Structure 1
Amino acid sequence: MPEPRTVATHCPYCALQCGTRLTRERAGVTVVPTDFPVNRGGLCQKGWTAASLLDIPDRLVHPMVRRGGELVAADWDTALGTVADRLLGLRAEHGPDAVAVFGGGGLTNEKAYLLGKFARLALGTSRIDYNGRFCMSSAAAAGNAAFGLDRGLPFPVTDLGAADAVLLAGANPAETMPPLMQHLARPDLVVIDPRRTATAERAALHLQPAPGTDLALALGLLHIAVVDGWYDDGYVRERTSGFDAARQRAMTWWPERVERVTGVPVGAQRAAVRMLARAERAYVLTGRGAEQHSKGTDTVAAFINLSLALGLPGREGSGYGCLTGQGNGQGGREHGQKADQLPGYRMITDEAAREHVSRIWGVPPETLPGPGSSAYELLNGLGTPHGPRAMLVFGSNPAVSAPHAAHITARLSSLDFLVVADFVPSETARMADVVLPVTQWAEEDGTMTNLEGRVLRRRRLQNPPGHVRSDLEVLHGLARRLGEPAQRYPTAPREVFEELRRASAGGKADYSGIDYERLDTEALYWPCPAEGPDGTAHPGTPRLFLHGFAHPDGRARFAAVEHRAAAESVRAEFPLLATTGRELAQYQSGAQTRRVAELDAAAPEAFVEVHPDTAERAGLRAGALAVVTSARGEVVARVRLVASMRTDTVFLPFHFPGDGRANLLTNPALDPRSRMPEFKVAAVRIGPHPPPGITAAEEVPA
């Protein structure tokens, strides 16, 4: 296939999807930012170095099949034949749910769509979910309940730049998506975070609650808004329902009680509400810090309650939104790789949805399986008597990213058969029986949907190396060997997208009015039906809810939520709380960024942030190794003394492998609605590594 010399495309990392231009030079590929609205000519360190991913030394370029305990190179026919034979055998012996599929929030819309179709038709399994369950699921559940629709930001990012005040609950964009900060330069920022992050450093007001108490704080802020007369009574009466029940719950969270539970002073609570209420244009934004809890849905709902009481959502120049994390975290959950969903953000239990999608796919509705297990439940069930015996992993690295990581690694090891499609030998790929090398961002065409719900073109610059194939080609080859009609699984991204358009038509996430040609010249946000009200091409919907919310009565819903403690509390054996998050130079499980020399040099190893007083009590010094232990495992990390840390809290980034995996500590307690694990709160203790009395030379590796 001819290779263009230069293309306009988007960064391969976070959900901002910053605009970039790639050019092939003699010395390699260069990346320059474009004046795309979300990044306006800016990039973070990861974006600037993204081209380094294209020629990493250990790039996967041949299929690999495990022989005699070792992964050895094989041709594609052998690799795909091995996979198909094993899957057919396991299905025949144990039924279709013996095979599971685990996807990723970085897959293009086309890949996510075809993966969901492949799982439900070629495999006939209900057991499919993806790593986005660990990212946005709590905000999605709360947003759907409140507004009738879940789109991370129901307005363009650029609207934030005209705001007077923005509350960020559990979000640290200065490190996780730095180009966003130029849109937050004008507003006064209220940052809620247990750490004094780089974002909190820029805030007009930083509220520093104890980990796991965000819900109590949000209830307290609503209490103040009501009692001090800051809420918008007219908006509440005209555009919402359920306010009285939510208000009654908040009335028990008076400011002094909130201070005792959270540690946030009464004055700071009142100042936060006052800043938002006095602003002509204001936004409330949530991130992973509010969502990754066993009560994450209720926590997000409580912040939505606050935004509704202040009259923000559905008002031009104000609103509520969630900062999506992964590159296609929005589109990835809209088109069928989530356990309970079909394309177009349809629910798999909805008979009309099943009828519509099955008609597009050319199968009877009754052949579609029902809803499967959520991500952690799926992984936790691997290899058990009634769980999956085999799993196919596309675009994810659960050996590092899943909570209770040692347990999940054991579950992966217990499988009869593991297949991983990736372009790097991730920690999960190294465990596989078959590894399938696939294309990466600059070697493929497709679409992504960024955090604003804007659909974007990803454009191919160069052909992949060696014997690499696209994920679409892999799914086509496997489906054909499993007995499916070849034409049911197109390999051309444009052809897959055309089918996705039809499958999504009429759904909440309606893409039917979007095509590749329009994306070349227009900014298109879903929903974008095939026709607008006047019969012409629909312009897309950059701003949702201006004329009503997506519930039948057009009203937003308050949620009557109540604070409850985290699933795990401190005790004598584990007197501290550990919380996890991101580091500026790394991304997700680090499988990509740890292979970029510049990024690896900036953040080469696991570290733990500790208050100096906490470190002194534990016998730790700056730069020394510490061991952090929870009821589930222990992590070895380099000590960083941070005077702004709470003395009861330590922080670890989750990007590192081996004994530096922060998720060795994390608690898999699940939110009852979103099935989000509790990544943000784990009871731990900390001490020197190796323990006193043992020298490093004497220590026996675990």
Structure 2
Amino acid sequence: MSSSLLGRPSGISEPFGGRTQCPFCSVQCKIRLSEEGVPGEKVTIRAQGDDNAASEGRLCVKGQNAHQHALSRERLLHPLIRRDGQLIRASWEEAMQAVTDLFKSTAQRYGPDAAGVYGGGSLSNESAYLLGKFARLALGTRYIDYNGRFCMSAAASAGSKTFGVDRGLTFRLSDIPQAECIILAGTNLADCQPTLMPYFNRARENGASIIVIDPRATATAAASDLHLPIRPGTDAALAAGMLKVLIEEGLIDEKFINERTRGFEEIRERALGQMPLSQTAEFCGVREDLIRRAAIMYGRAHTGMIMTARGVEQQTDGHLAVREFLNLVLATGKIGREGCGYGAITGQGNGQGGREHGQKADQLPGYRSITDQADRAYVASVWGVEPERIPGAGVSAYEMMELIHRREIRTLFVMGSNPVVSNPNVSMVEEGLRKLDGLIVADMFLSETAEMADIVLPVTSYMENAGTLTNLEGRVLLREAARPSVGESRHDWAILCEVAERLGRGSEFPFQSVEEIFDELRLASRGGRADYYGITYERLRREEGVYWPCGEDRDGGSGLMFEQSFAHADGLAVFSAPPLVETSDKAISAAYPLILTNGRVLAHYLTGVQTHRSPTLEAREVATFLEIHPSAAKRIRARDGEWVQIDSEAGSFYARCRITEKIREDTVFAPMHWGGQQNVNQATLPGLDPICKMPGFKTTPVRVSSYRGTPKKEALPRLEAGSVFPV
């Protein structure tokens, strides 16, 4: 439970309370808010976990204090337009006309593809769906992608290639205690999804062994039975080495392989011919006996699970790394039954649903492919247009930034994202955004990206905007609006509908409620891989949540995937046997002797736009830091708590030194939640995975030097962060 002394936003006088849903991670915990105190005076707002099947009524510190950012006095309450270099208050009529004029002039001068649309993985399913439709029909552009490209693209593409469909977890959360062995690779659940930890505690109580693969001795690793402190970027080789052990030890499921998979013979041949395990161990920086022990623990278990997250996936070979772990799942037959399966631990609040319904460059609703003629024809029929009206595939999120830098995209519309902080190679991104003819940002706050915008549109918060979200286990949930809109803020979907109307496409965006959008989404997804057709708001209110796929029969899935067959046409899963090579982004040198990896901390979320406005959360971590091993700190004469400078070939950032033995000597770690000179992505290199276009966030070669001064003002904590509306 959490309590905060807060005042109500201006214009809201009724008691503060109601049910809502946490806006942060993919667990999507339910929340019950209540208010205590005397009307007209400061009150105590309490946030309690509300009963639900995923978190079982638990809340972490972010959920307990999520309401604080929604009540921050830094909320944008009216539109802003840049005049004479300054963002000043404007009316909605002025702002919407300016947006319309900008889109029209861009299309007339340069064609429809000169406009780009950039979405977010925290948007509701309805808003994500509508954003894709808006880009393709209202603007006619092929260029739309979203920040989930930096979160789930490696696991999504690997799952699609291996299983025929991508879904975060192929099992139910309630199945976790039934697993006899669990491998957590590149995920720190204790900090990133802490309300899930009781599931793993129950598994251990039932006798399960938990293996953590991570270069840091995280809180999750502390709760494990075996920790493999891997060298960042070598996960693919580690998983391949484990498979070699399984084959040599006879711990594979020949019956499952023969009946339900294809491609294993190539895998077997590769395993027999690949480097000895001792060389794999040296390459990965992990003792040979630990690799062998981990493989045998997993292979001998009757039931088992493997879960990956950004530590494995945010690499320039992230797709192949995930596929190597999926090979372990298939080789042992540990999928499609209780206590078994693979899970990609989704990071963003709607990271699952946000990638299913059309805001990805190559995707149409229902996880349909934009290049498939039948898929295009079906979605066009739902939208009431000819298939030729739907543009072809665009490019990934970072590649859009490259097009902006080359001035091929001249106007950018950003909704629910902060690309100037989240992209790699930030200096190029900032330079490109400054070249735009127009930048439009729809957000709750003046984020680092919004500060650069020409037009800023204030949107409602999670407490004010209803919609559905899909949690990491594929359960579709309805988040009701618990509060009225604040100031002049508007729902994101309503903004899209009005702009479409002004562009002459109003007949294709006739929606008067979010439920009407969902009903069209249901129809557009019908028969697709992510089929929501059998899900309705009435059903979600009655049943709390429904697993997809849920099609014509409307029964909905059980949450356990692939019990009988996989989603490929032949019903089989597919092994992958790529060559194992060391990619250039992992190469350290005398100039850059350390590997920089990044990630999340418990108190903050994504680029911190929301959590930095919570006084409770901001107090926990007021500035970024760099975890560094004592031996590395000693070489640069850095002391704990001092500022250090981190340099790569791409650029530099600053952080407070945090000396710890809980990290490899050749590795440093920085959080991803700060902008400006504290932005870790100032140093991230621009290389992308060739298959899924994931940047290599986890494997940047850097050097660290002691910094005796204080970084520029913008690198210091924001003193006004977390202030709240007056009573």
> TM bucket by the smaller chain?
over 0.9
Aligned counterpart for 2:180 among listed residues 164, 175, 180:
164
CA pair 4-674 structure 1, distance change in 2 beyond 3 A: farther
SS in 1 for 2:686: strand
CA distance in 1, matches of 2:189, 2:299: 23
Question: Which residue is equivalent to 2:617?
Answer: 599
TM-score (norm 2): 0.93
Q: Tell me how many residue pairs correspond in the alignment.
A: 692
Q: Counterparts of 1:31-430 in structure 2 under 5 Å?
A: 31-185=47-201, 186=203, 187-251=208-272, 252-385=274-407, 387-430=408-451
- Is the contact made by 1:389 and 1:417 (CA closer than 8 Å) also made in structure 2? yes
Q: CA deviation at 1:567?
A: 3.0
In the TM superposition, what whole-angstrom CA distance separates every residue of 1:79-110 from its partner, at most 9, and x where no partner exists? 00001001101110000001000000000000
Residue 383 (structure 1) shift: 4.3
- Listed one character per residue, the Cα deviations across residues 621-659 of structure 1 (whole Å, up to 9, x for unaligned) are 111110010011111100011112111111111101111
Per-residue deviation, 1:53: 1.6
1:152 CA displacement: 0.5
Candidates 538, 559, 564, aligned match of 1:517: 538
Q: How far apart are residue 619 of structure 1 and its match?
A: 1.1
User: Tell me, which stretches of 5 or more residues in structure 2 are unaligned?
Assistant: 1-11, 717-727
Equivalence map 1:459-498=2 (5 Å): 459-486=480-507, 488-498=509-519
**Residues 4, 333 of structure 1: CA spacing in aligned structure 2 closer, same or farther, 3 A cutoff?**
farther
Aligned partner of residue 636 in structure 1, secondary structure: strand
Contact 2:177 2:339 in 1 (8 A): no
CA, structure 1 residues 4+618, in 2 after alignment: closer, same or farther (shift >3 Å)?
A: same
Q: Which amino acid aligns with 2:561?
A: L
Q: Secondary structure at the match of 1:16?
A: coil
Check 1:541–1:354 CA distance in 2 against 1; reply closer, same or farther (3 A cut): farther
- CA distance in structure 1 between the partners assigned to 2:133 and 2:632 by the alignment: 51
In structure 2, C-alpha distance between the alignment counterparts of 1:561 and 1:248, rounded to whole Å: 12
Q: Which amino acid aligns with 2:228?
A: L
From the superposition, tell whether residues 48 and 439 of structure 1 become closer, same or farther in structure 2 (CA, over 3 Å): same
Contact 2:140 2:390 in 1 (8 A): yes
Shift of 1:673: 0.8
Task: Give the partner amino acid of 1:426.
Answer: S
Asked if 1:538 is matched to 2:555, the reply is yes
**Backbone CA RMSD of aligned residues:** 1.8
* CA shift digits 1:317-338 (9 cap, x unpaired): 2111111110000000100000
1:3, distance to aligned residue in structure 2 (A): 8.1
Shift of residue 605 of structure 1?
0.3
Aligned residues of 2:154 and 2:319 also touching (Cα < 8 A)? yes
Please say if residues 549 and 556 of structure 2, whose CA atoms lie closer than 8 Å, have aligned partners that are also in contact.
no
SS of 2:498's equivalent? helix
Q: Which amino acid aligns with 2:233?
A: G
Post-superposition offset of 1:401: 0.8
CA contact (8 A) 2:418 2:449 kept: yes
1:587-634 deviation digits (Å, cap 9, x = unpaired): 100111111111111111010000001100111111111001001111
1:534 aligned residue = none
**1:487 offset after TM fit, Å?**
5.5
- Runs of 4 or more, structure 1, over 6 Å off, are 1-5, 697-702
Q: 1:699 to 1:359 in 2, by over 3 A?
A: closer
Which of 631, 656, 674 is the matching residue for 2:649?
Answer: 631
Give how far 1:266 is off.
Answer: 1.3
Corresponding letter in the other structure for 1:334: E
Amino acid across the alignment from 2:560: R
Taking the aligned partners of 2:711 and 2:92, their CA distance within structure 1 comes to 46
Deviation at 1:281, TM superposition (A): 1.8
Give how far 1:247 is off.
Answer: 2.2
Match of 1:574, as an amino acid? Y
Q: Which runs of 5+ in 1 are unaligned?
A: 532-536
In the TM superposition, residue 340 of structure 1 has moved relative to its aligned partner by: 0.3
Match of 1:582 in 2: 600
Aligned partners of 2:29 and 2:297: how far apart in 1?
Answer: 30
Q: 1:13 to 1:391 in 2, by over 3 A?
A: same
Overall identity of the aligned pairs, in %: 46
Tell me the secondary structure at the aligned position of residue 238 of structure 1: helix
Q: Counterpart of 1:8?
A: 19
Letter in 1 for 2:486: P
Picking from 541, 548, 562, the partner of 2:565 is 548
- Aligned match of 2:723: none
Q: Does 1:20 align with 2:36?
A: no
Alpha-carbon distance between aligned partners in 2 of 1:317 and 1:646, rounded to the nearest angstrom: 32
Give the Cα–Cα distance (whole angstroms) in 2 for the partners of residues 654 and 36 of structure 1: 30
For 1:488 and 1:623, the matched residues in 2 are separated by: 53
Secondary structure at the counterpart of residue 399 of structure 2: helix
In the aligned structure 2, how far is the partner of 1:640 from the partner of 1:196?
14
> Cα 1:483–1:28, aligned 2, differ >3 Å: closer, same or farther?
farther
Alpha-carbon contact 1:610-1:651 (below 8 Å) kept? yes
Which SS does the other structure have where 2:493 is aligned? helix
* SS of structure 2 residue aligned to 1:668: coil
Secondary structure of 1:670's counterpart equals: coil
Question: Equivalent of 1:653, from 647, 667, 671?
Answer: 671
Give 3-state SS (helix, strand or coil) of 1:441's partner: coil
Q: Which amino acid is 1:539 matched to?
A: G
Question: Is the CA contact (8 Å cut-off) linking 2:593 and 2:702 kept in structure 1?
Answer: yes
Matches of 2:155 and 2:711 in 1, distance apart?
48
CA distance in structure 1 between the aligned counterparts of 2:171 and 2:565, rounded to whole angstroms: 14
Aligned-residue offset at 1:243: 0.5
CA–CA separation in structure 1 for the residues paired with 2:60 and 2:191: 9
* 1:232-269 deviation line (CA, Å, top 9, x unaligned): 11111111110011222233143111111011111111
Q: SS of the counterpart of 1:590? A: coil
Once the two structures are TM-superposed, the CA of residue 678 in structure 1 deviates from its matched residue by 0.5
Q: Is the 8 A contact 1:101 1:393 kept in 2?
A: yes
Deviation (angstroms), 1:292: 0.5
Corresponding residue for 2:574? 557
Corresponding residue number in structure 1 for 2:705:
687
Measure, in 1, the Cα distance between the counterparts of 2:334 and 2:410. Answer: 48
CA apart distance, 1:228: 1.1
Give the AA of the match of 2:579.
E
Letter in 1 for 2:181: A
Corresponding position: 1:662 with 2:680: yes
- Cα 1:485–1:357 change in 2 (3 A) is same
The residue aligned with 2:7 is none
Are positions 1:621 and 2:621 aligned together?
Answer: no
Residues 494-528 of structure 1 deviation map (CA, whole Å, 9 limit, x = unaligned)? 00000000000010000000000111122310000
Are the equivalent residues in 2 in contact too, given 1:175–1:584 (CA < 8 A)? yes
Partner of 1:560: helix, strand, or coil? coil
1:566 equivalent to 2:583? Answer yes
Residue 2 of structure 1: how far off its partner (Å): 12
Partner of residue 523, structure 2: 502
Residues 700 and 283 of structure 1: is their aligned pair in 2 closer, same or farther, counting only changes over 3 Å? closer
Letter matched to residue 632 of structure 1: A
1:678 aligns with 2:683: no
Does the 8 A contact of 2:678 with 2:715 survive in 1?
no
Give the SS at the match of 1:41: coil
Q: How far apart, in 1, do the equivalents of 2:417 and 2:44 lie?
A: 27
TM-score, normalising length: structure 1: 0.96
